[in-house]
Each structure stands twice: as C-alpha cells, then as structure tokens.
Amino acid sequence: MISADTDIKPFDVTAIRKEFPVLQRKVKGKNLVYFDNAATAQKPQVVIDALVSYYQQFNANIHRGIHSLAEEATAAFEATRDTVKDFINAKYREEIIFTHGVTESINLVAATWGRQNIKEGDEIIISGMEHHSNIVPWQMLCQEKKAKLKIIPVDNNGELIMDEYEKLITLKTKIISIVHASNSLGTINPVKEIIEIAHQHNIIVLVDGAQSAVHLDIDVQNMDCDFFVLSSHKIYGPTGVGVLYGKKELLEEMPPYMGGGEMIKEVTFDGTTYNDLPYKFEAGTPNIADTVAFKAALDFVNEVGKDNIRKYEVALTKYAMNKLSQIEGVRLVGAAKHKTSVVSFIVDGVHPQDMGILLDNYGIAVRTGHHCCQPLMNRFEIPGTVRASFAMYNTKEEVDELVKGVEKAVKMLR
C-alpha cells in the first residue's frame, strides 16, 4: 500500500517520511522532530485514507445487518482480525479479541480469568518495570481476593534479575504478567525463558506487548504465551483499538467481561447463553472505523519489513546513546543488552520537565516524567527521565538536533 512512486527497498527513510503527513509540519517555527513514538506512533497516509474511506464509503454497524454496507463493513472489520492473527502468528482467528487497547486487554484478563481463578492466598507475579496498566489491575484483583502481588526485581542495567524470578514462584503462584519491552528503558525481557519456567510450574503467562509488537517479530505460538496484548496506536494504527490474544482453551473457559449486544446467542428473562469466541468478549458496537484502518497500518509495517525497520532503529538508537552519553552531565538510564529504540536519560541538576519544555522550543517532541512506571523510577531513585523513542521515520540528522538541543539546554539550565 506504499505509493508506487516511492522506492522503499532497500530501506529508504526519505521515502518513508513522505508517507507520514504530520512530519511535514513545523513546531515553534522549527521542523518537527518527533521522538515520542513509545507513547504513540504517527500515522501513514494509508491509515488516514482507510479511516476516511470507511466513513465515506461503507459506514455501517457490523455483524447484524444484511444490507450491502453492513456486509462490507463486517468484511473489513473481520479482515483486520485475520491480519492481526498473521501478524502475531496466532493459531486461530477466534483467539483475537478486539479491545480499546492494552489497558483494557489487561483489565479484561484480570476481571475475567482473574476473578474466576484467583483465590485468597494465591500469588501473582509481575516485574519491577511494569507500566501502571500492568500493575493496578492486578493490585485491584489482589485486594478483592486477598491475594498477593510479587515483584521480580530489576538490576542497575534495567534488566530483570532472573534468579530472583525463580525464587518468587511457589505452589500458590497462578499467573505471571510481564512486559515484553519496557516503555521507559527499552529493555527487552527474555519472555520465552520466563514462560518456559512458568509452564514447568503450571503457571500461565500474560505478555504485555505494547512496546514490542511494533519492533519485534511476534510469534505467540513459538513464545507459547497464554495471553498477549497490544495497542494499534503504537504500531502506526489509530488510537482506541487494541488486541487481546488468548489461547482458545483459556478464552473458552473464561466468563464474559461486559454484557450486552453481540456477546450473546440467546437472551430471555430467565437467562442468557453467550456467543462463541471471539464475540463473547466483544459486547456492543466496537470501534469499527479504527479497527478497519488498523489493518492498513499492519500491512504498511509488513510491507516495509519488520527486519528492515528493526535494523535501522537499532543503529539509530546506538548512535543516539553514543552521542548523548558524551554530553557532560548526561546519564543514560537503562543499559540492557537487548533494547528497543528507547533512550532514557537524566541530566545532573536539570529537571526532566524543564528539559522537555526547552526541547519543545526547538521543535523536538520527547516525553518526560515517570512514563507511568513510578515504581521503576523509585527503584532508580529518580523523579523521572527524558525519553526519546525512535520509529522507522526518524533520522540521524534528527538525533543530531536532539543532541544539539540537549547541549544548549544543559548550558542554559545548569
């Protein structure tokens, strides 16, 4: 779906950039440098076109209508399910549940599988580098069930201490919910090893793929995770769409999350029978337009090639880490061996927020603060970091702009 006049292979960042209209804009009179991709990625024209064309040409509610528009909308919506299935290599299409995002997907599992299976005294393991959305739902469940939340510690490089992980497991451990790639440090966790160990103890594992699905090849069958969650908006797709992948046998045993239309087979005042997967978990009218457009984003990523993207992003990240670490007073946070394209840093004597405001004056968008990982920031005894996170359309020249901006800010603020 990349326009024919752009030569994309081998990886051509100039051509890629032309596909993202927002990159043409100025901020504070400067060319936009968008380094907040871990929060949300920008959208290529094909995604915007897919969104507009849905509303212009075949807007209709899905699954229920027999008229042409309803059939077309249903086909487009369900086509995204097939594309997601292939994107993460799920075995069955009914293992793909559409949600509003990672946050809802995790809450769904905690509220359904969790309520059904967690009893007083049971234990849930997460890690010290989780996003709040993979902490709070489990805390809420633990509070309700009088269960215990245990935390895999993080070392000074920002990697999980795997020996400690094994020690946390007991006969009471029921589920491990773990982030695949950290949003604040970029650390890629050894999820396959974590899952293998968990399964030896009959413990199921949820993998938070919010940050990994866009950068890494995801094969849920090979990984053997029990649940995998992702958000469209971090993979160049629209906001408001997410995925819960779950192994079919688990999803079938789980009670529904929300009640309403679509998730039922038959309703009488005496009782209700629930729909088959995946619809049992998709009550109400879903976010049809954004789900339809999500397919265009996945097709786009597949066309550019995840391998190509990853190689490029890794090189850019190394370049940025090298340049930033040479600035006096700059300290990189997180030195994991395997990382996504996230560079987090602090500057002696400069509050991350002040740095963020100054960089915005140069047109550079970074994220500052705790990145919804307050416990991790506490672990490093810092209030937060400045985070630059790279996508396929970022360039070396943009990194140079960031380095110049940080140097200027350091001089001004210290």
Instruction: Point out which residues bind ligand 7TS (CB under 6 A).
Output: 38-39, 101-103, 131, 133-134, 179, 183, 208, 210-211, 231, 367, 371-372
Rounded to whole angstroms, what are the CA distances from 204 to 106, 195, 228, 270, 385? 14, 8, 11, 35, 33
Distance CA 368, CA 104 (A): 24
We find the least distance from the C-beta atom of residue 181 to ligand 7TS, in angstroms, to be 7
Nearer to ligand 7TS, 206 or 309 (CB): 206
Nearest-approach distance from CB 307 to ligand 7TS, in angstroms? 22
Three-state DSSP class for 273?
strand
Nearer residue to ligand 7TS within complex by CB, 72 or 282? 282
- Looking at the annotation, which residues are catalytic? 372
Q: What SS3 class is residue 271? A: strand
Find out whether 394 and 316 touch, Cβ atoms under 8 Å. Answer: yes
Min dist CB 394 to ligand 7TS, Å, is 16
How remote is the C-alpha of 236 from its chain's centroid?
11
Residue 74 or 389: which CB sits closer to ligand 7TS?
Answer: 389
- For ligand 7TS, give the closer residue by CB, 106 or 304: 106
> With contact defined as beta carbons under 8 Å apart, do 89 and 222 qualify?
yes
Q: Return d(Cα 400, Cα 406) in angstroms, integer.
A: 10
Q: How far is CA 309 from CA 34, 223, 293, 305, 349, in A?
A: 17, 21, 21, 6, 35
- For 178, the token pair is 């773990």
- Closer CB to ligand 7TS, residue 58 or residue 113? 113
Q: Which residue has the tokens 């009218």?
A: 285
CA distance 331 to 371: 17
- Of all residues in the shown chain, the one whose CB is closest to ligand 7TS is 183
CB of 40 to ligand 7TS, least distance (A): 7
CB distance 381 to 48 below 8 Å: no
Single out the residue of 283, 300, 285, 291 nearest to residue 241, CA to CA.
291
Output 197 or 372, the one with its CB closest to ligand 7TS.
Answer: 372
Pairing mode of beta strands 342-347, 173-179: unpaired
Residue 122: CB minimum distance to ligand 7TS, A: 23
Name the minimum Å distance from CB 342 to ligand 7TS: 9
